[in-house]
């Protein structure tokens, strides 16, 4: 184990949902933290109220000069790269923006780090399960593989399951890190490129890649239409809207509570043997979107308001996601601690009292 006491740490995107919690965890462990974040209004609102345990430098990873200056100022021992554009749907509408932030921004960071007289020891990347695309499935012959993304034409006909070349229904399976990437969205492709850039650029630091599943919890933006589905449901339910469940309701995700994700990031810095490795970070359990919507409505006391299985779909969305987290357990000494039902209650309790949404409604 590597102690964090006295370590200098740079976090790009450190003012965000995960990053702000990570700054506090690292500071409490005795690290000195510098945060580089553009405070995007889509995420933070026009007048963000920040609770950060580090020095904030406002800037954009697309601005190579500003990022280089922040890196020179921080002189980090450890770097966490969290800054990214997220959201499958938005990435299809704005591919150049996603490529600029996720791909060029990551390249800018690498070049800035290589210019340091004393380079960092480790870079930890906030990656995503979206690089797997549909993820692991098993066919009727017992073969595990990653199928092609579902076609818009099939989903338009209400066909949402996945099939093999012989037309047989495939069975979803837990996805482990050995499954070859097969992203089905611009977002997933740009995030995979971040992994490739960090892994393929010769550098004196080692790289740890954490492929996050669906992160949720208190503090997740309720105003951003491209944030996690659970916070979107909270916002819609509190606004008196009927929740719209896509496809036939049989969409499954591996939801992981934000505090568990922060613990994984801390472990990625502390575990010396994690260098050069990639890990799935999830609960290891699949939960349906339909069941999640029902939990939120129940906790808000809005069951009568209801939800509707709409049959709507989005190109690039995946059907079933659950992570095999065996490697993270064995090599990071990490496992999820917050059960999904408990985590949803915490999210709803926070959403009820979120002052930013109260102010938005008042306007």
Write down the domain spans for the chain. Answer: 8-358
Per-residue pLDDT band for 360 (boundaries 50, 70, 90) equals very low
CA distances from 152 to 88, 220, 245, 313 (A): 15, 30, 18, 8
In the predicted model, is pLDDT for residue 362 greater than 90? Answer: no
Residue in 187, 246, 252, 313 annotated catalytic: 187
- With 0-12 CB in 10 A as exposed, 13-18 as middle and 19+ as buried, what is 166? exposed
Structure-block tokens of residue 357 = 């949404």
Alpha helices by DSSP H, the chain: 17-28, 41-44, 64-74, 88-93, 95-98, 105-114, 152-156, 186-200, 229-238, 258-270, 289-299, 326-327, 340-352, 355-362
Could you please report the per-residue DSSP string of 180-244? PP---SHHHHHHHHHHHHHHHS--SSEEEEEEE-EEE-TT--SS-TTS-HHHHHHHHHHTTPPEE
Q: What are the residues facing 244 on neighbouring strands?
A: 308
> pLDDT by residue (tens digit) across 214-233?
999 999 988 776 678 999 99
> pLDDT by residue (tens digit) across 152-162?
999 999 999 99
d(CA 234, CA 247) in angstroms, rounded, equals 20
Q: What's the CATH code, domain 8-358? A: 3.40.50.720
Q: Identify the three-state secondary structure at position 341.
A: helix
State the residue for tokens 């600029």. 100
Helices 340-352 and 289-299: angle between axes, nearest 10 degrees = 50
In the predicted model, is pLDDT for residue 363 greater than 50? Answer: no
d(CA 29, CA 6) in angstroms, rounded, equals 9
- 246 catalytic? Reply is no
- What's this model's pTM, rounded to 2 decimal places? 0.94
CA distances from 32 to 56, 83, 204, 238 (A): 12, 19, 22, 39
**Is 106 within 8 Å of 198 (Cβ atoms)?**
yes
């Amino acid at each position: 184990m590597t102690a964090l006491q006295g370590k200098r740490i740079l976090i790009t995107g450190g003012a965000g949902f995960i990053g702000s919690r990570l700054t506090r965890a690292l500071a409490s462990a005795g690290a000195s933290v510098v945060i580089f974040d553009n405070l995007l209004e889509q995420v933070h609102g026009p007048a963000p109220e920040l609770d950060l345990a580090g020095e904030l430098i406002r800037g954009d990873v697309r601005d190579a000069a500003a990022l280089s200056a922040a890196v020179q100022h921080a002189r980090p021992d450890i770097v966490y790269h969290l800054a990214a554009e997220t959201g499958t749907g938005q990435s299809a509408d704005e591919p150049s923006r996603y490529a600029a932030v996720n791909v060029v921004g990551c390249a800018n960071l690498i070049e800035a780090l290589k210019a340091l007289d004393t380079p960092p020891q480790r870079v930890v990347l906030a990656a995503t399960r979206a690089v797997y695309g549909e993820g692991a499935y098993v066919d009727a012959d017992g073969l595990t593989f990653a199928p092609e993304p579902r076609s818009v034409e099939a989903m338009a006909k209400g066909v949402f399951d996945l099939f093999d070349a012989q037309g047989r229904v495939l069975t979803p399976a837990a996805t482990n890190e050995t499954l070859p990437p097969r992203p089905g969205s611009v977002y997933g492709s740009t995030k995979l490129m971040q992994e490739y850039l960090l892994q393929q650029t010769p550098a004196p630091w080692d790289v740890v890649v954490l492929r996050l599943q669906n992160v949720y919890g208190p503090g997740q933006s309720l105003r951003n239409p491209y944030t996690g589905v659970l916070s979107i449901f909270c916002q819609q339910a509190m606004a008196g809207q009927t929740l719209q469940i896509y496809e036939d309701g049989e969409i499954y995700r591996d939801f992981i509570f934000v505090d568990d994700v922060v613990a994984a990031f801390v472990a990625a810095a502390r575990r010396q043997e994690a260098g050069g490795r990639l890990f799935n970070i999830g609960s290891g359990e699949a939960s349906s979107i339909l069941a999640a919507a029902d939990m939120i409505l129940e906790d808000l006391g809005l069951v009568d308001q209801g939800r509707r299985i709409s049959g709507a779909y989005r190109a690039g969305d995946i059907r079933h996601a659950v992570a095999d987290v065996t490697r993270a357990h064995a090599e990071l000494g990490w496992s999820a601690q917050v059960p999904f039902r408990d985590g949803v209650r915490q999210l709803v309790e926070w959403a009820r009292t979120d002052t930013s949404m109260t102010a938005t409604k008042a306007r």
